[in-house]
Chain A
Amino acid sequence: MTARRSWWKTLIGVALTGIMLFPLYWMINVSLTQPTDLRRDPPNLFPVNPTFDGYTTVISEQLPYLATSLLVGLGTVALTLVLSAPAAFALAKLRPVGGTAVNFLLLIAQMIPGIIMAMGFYLIFNSWGLLDSIPGLILADSTLAVPFGVLIFTAFMTGIPDELLSAAKIDGAGAWRSFRSIVLPISRNSVVTVSLFTFLWAWSDFLFASTLNRGGDLQPITIGIYKYIGNNTQDWNAIMATAVVASIPAAVLLVVAQRYVAAGVTAGAVKD
């Protein structure tokens, strides 16, 4: 009886998930559709007579964009980790005077709308000569992640027992040594969570890319897709193929690190 009832629920669950993920299916379907069939009414529900031309186009035209996004993503992860992990260690364990104020400022910083940051950065980078450059994008994108990083690390490091650190201190380890050799290895999970989200945000960024890197030689993949949409609205199978490729990091992330993802979503929201 109960077993049969819960299978019904599974069925409903599968149906709901199917509805939710339909746009993704559609993206893949269109990416495989022959350009001549794109304007068919009604459209083909399945990729009958599939073509990989869209993907060939991606590889021939979008590789530099993908490489730029990869570089920007990795750079942003590195910068975010270097800034947020040590600060979080101090905020969690070293009780700096004014630590509460720093926490509060980080919380506020997350709420500033991106368009405002973009305009400020535009002026600043204009005078620093960082417009249209990869370091400029890394700096701008890191503002999406640093407050989140500090909050996640602080929340985790607060839970590390003080006895562990006292023991290290008795053994003669300074604060930096304790951080490097004890706190950081224990916080491995948080490092993974922060890195994954940071990479994803930097990879997905469109606002900073479209304001701070409007004419550069090295533009990220979001701009690559955007240009496609603007230039040749007919070629939707190439656009969708690029979209599929741009979604790969998200897919990988979900498969490889599912538990970190859920942890990141909740921690970012509920922890202070």
Chain B
Amino acid sequence: MSATQVARKKGTPALTARGRSGGAAFDDAVPSGRRMRARQHRRAQLTAWAFVAPVVVYLVVFYAYPLYRNLDLSFRDYTLRSFIDGTADFVWFDNYATVLGSATFAPALINTAVFTGVSILFQFSIGLALAVFFFRNFPLAATLRALFLVPWLLPLLVSASVWAWMLNSESGIINAAIEALGGPQVNWLTSPEWAMASVLIANIWIGIPFNLVILYSGLQGIPNDVYEAASLDGANGWQTFWRVTLPLLRPVSAITILLGLVYTLKVFDIIWIMTKGGPVNASTTLSIWSYRLGFGGQSPDLSPAAAVGNLLIILAFVFGLIYIRAQRRLVNS
């Protein structure tokens, strides 16, 4: 049996937790004296760190440093002049005060919450329904499931432009369908009432495949005899779903939802392409607001943009930490 097969056999991917099968191939040589062992240990550590060092340097230069620059930026008054001579006045919390006092702040925060919450609610429930549906083996199930992945793999810019055209007021296919059924013309992207719904539809569509795949793998992890027991006890399909499948799927569900939160908070491309956050602020989220301040207009307002970005990052980290905790629990269970 090849090593690949050995590795594959180690149960479901979700449960091959690191640390359980600890690997120490290079420091388990025959011990001969404590000092020699200590030296060997040091050498092994040096070797190990030689492999890890590039990524650590990379993390510092390309994650920590941009984050630091962003933080620094948010405490300064960065103007066009600053680009040339590199100086900017330190203004303490002025940018944060400007941002929090802005008329855009409340709508942006509410829109971020609505966009994230509604997206996840629909992505998750549709994804779960589809996962359960595809889990019952039928001819072509695997192929169709694979086709479902396509929307997730497309460049977001492509998906967003296709939806923008489909939702076009005069020439879009969606309005054509609504009008064919006797409904009114809806100004999806250009009216404040519908702009948020439009970007939500597109975003939910993009997120369904991801939820489907993860929840499907979660279903695979539920042992078959649980279902057999339920069926012996006379449970019907509906009862089995609510009393067996859903409770056993809880750890995977928690991770799917939290990961969805972290991803959805970041969404930028879809909204920017479809509505640019408008009309007025109807679909402006924190990401969009930050981008618009920094790069959207004629004169870049980088410092307030950085302040908005840092508010967003606090939200992302809160959910991120909950995610990491939930995942630890899944791995340890």
Chain A residues in contact with chain B, CB under 8 A? 6-7, 9-10, 12-14, 16-17, 20-21, 23-24, 26-27, 30, 38-43, 82-84, 86-87, 89-97, 99, 102-124, 126-127, 139, 142-143, 146, 150, 154-156, 158-162, 164-166, 169, 174-175, 178-179, 186, 189, 200, 203-204, 206-207, 210-211, 214, 222, 225-226, 229, 236, 239-240, 243, 246-247, 250-251, 253-254, 258, 261-263, 265-267, 269-272
Q: Which residue from chain A places its CB closest to the CB of B315 in the assembled complex?
A: A113
Report whether B162 and A243 are in contact in the complex, using a CB–CB cutoff of 8 Å: yes
Which chain A positions have C-beta within 8 A of B6?
159-161
- Sample 22 A-B pairs with CB under 8 A, ordered by A number: A27-B158, A39-B170, A90-B48, A96-B49, A112-B313, A112-B316, A117-B63, A143-B62, A159-B8, A159-B21, A169-B26, A186-B2, A204-B157, A207-B268, A211-B295, A222-B155, A222-B157, A247-B154, A254-B149, A254-B150, A261-B146, A269-B259
Contact pick for A270, options B13, B68, B130, B157, CB 8 Å: B13
A244 nearest CB neighbor, chain B only: B158
Chain B interface SS verdict (over half): helix
Please measure, in the bound complex, the distance between the C-alpha atom of A47 and the C-alpha atom of B216, giving whole angstroms.
36
Closest to A251 in B: B150
Binding site for A on B (CB under 8 A): 2-4, 6-8, 10, 13-14, 16-18, 21-29, 44-45, 47-52, 54-56, 58-59, 62-63, 65-70, 73, 83, 86, 130, 133-134, 136-141, 144, 146-159, 161-166, 170-173, 176, 179-180, 205, 208-210, 213-214, 217, 252, 255-256, 259, 262, 265-266, 268-269, 273, 287, 290-291, 294-295, 302, 305-306, 309-310, 312-313, 316-317, 319-320, 324, 327-328, 330-331
Say whether A165 contacts B25, CB under 8 Å. Answer: yes
Cβ contact within 8 Å between B54 and A266: no
User: Judging by beta carbons under 8 Å apart, are A272 and B18 in contact?
Assistant: yes
Q: CB within 8 A of A119: which of B26, B45, B305?
A: B305
Q: Collect the chain A residues with CB atoms within 8 Å of residue B44's CB.
A: 94-95
Question: Which residue of chain A is the closest to B6 with respect to CB atoms?
Answer: A161
Chain A: minimal CB distance from B44 (Å): 7
Q: How far is the CA of A269 from the CA of B330 in the complex (A)?
A: 12
Q: How far is the CA of A174 from the CA of B43 in the complex (A)?
A: 12
